[in-house]
Amino acid sequence: MLEFNLQHRYPGFDFQTGDVQLPSDGITAVFGPSGCGKTTLIKTLSGLEKAQGWVKLNHQAWQSDRLFLPVHQRRIGMVFQDAALLPHLSVQGNLDYALKRSGFERSQHRPQQDRWIELLNLGNLLNQSVLTLSGGQKQRVGITRALLSNPQILMLDEPMSALDWRTKNELIPLIKEVSKASKLPILLITHSPEEVERLADQVLLLNQGRVEQLESLQQTLSRPDSPLFDEQGAVSVLIGQPGKVSDGLQQIQVGDNTLWVKPLKRANQEPVRIRVLARDVSLALSDPKDLSIVNHMPVKIDELIEQPDHRLLVRLRLDNQQHLFAEITQQSAKRLNLQPGLVVYALIKSVALAE
**Are the C-beta atoms of residues 157 and 78 closer than 8 Å to each other?**
yes
Contacts to other proteins from residues 143-162, by CB under 8 A? 145-146, 149
> Does the footprint of other proteins cover residue 86 (CB under 8 A)?
yes
- Minimum CB separation of residue 193 from other proteins in Å reads 26
> Does the footprint of other proteins cover residue 138 (CB under 8 A)?
yes
Distance CA 114, CA 92 (A): 12
Cα dihedral 82→88→93→99 (10° resolution): -70
Contacts to other proteins from residues 92-121, by CB under 8 A? 97-98, 101-103
**Are the C-beta atoms of residues 259 and 267 closer than 8 Å to each other?**
no
> Does the footprint of other proteins cover residue 76 (CB under 8 A)?
yes
- Pairing between strand 272-277 and 235-246? antiparallel
Distance CA 133, CA 90 (A): 10
Distance CA 338, CA 335 (A): 8
> Does the footprint of other proteins cover residue 57 (CB under 8 A)?
no
DSSP 247: T
Distance CA 156, CA 163 (A): 14
The region, left, alpha or beta by phi > 0 then psi within -120 to 50, assigned to residue 183 is left
Contact letters for other proteins, residues 271-310 (x by CB under 8 A): ----------------------------------------
> Does the footprint of other proteins cover residue 130 (CB under 8 A)?
yes
**Are the C-beta atoms of residues 240 and 271 closer than 8 Å to each other?**
yes
> Does the footprint of other proteins cover residue 249 (CB under 8 A)?
no
**Are the C-beta atoms of residues 207 and 36 closer than 8 Å to each other?**
yes
Residue closer to other proteins, measured from CB, 91 or 318: 91
> Does the footprint of other proteins cover residue 46 (CB under 8 A)?
yes
> Does the footprint of other proteins cover residue 209 (CB under 8 A)?
no
Residues contacting other proteins: total by CB under 8 A: 31
> Does the footprint of other proteins cover residue 85 (CB under 8 A)?
yes
Residue closer to other proteins, measured from CB, 135 or 233: 135
> Does the footprint of other proteins cover residue 83 (CB under 8 A)?
yes
Q: Which residues bind other proteins (CB under 8 A)?
A: 46, 48, 70-78, 80, 82-88, 97-98, 101-103, 130-131, 138, 142, 145-146, 149
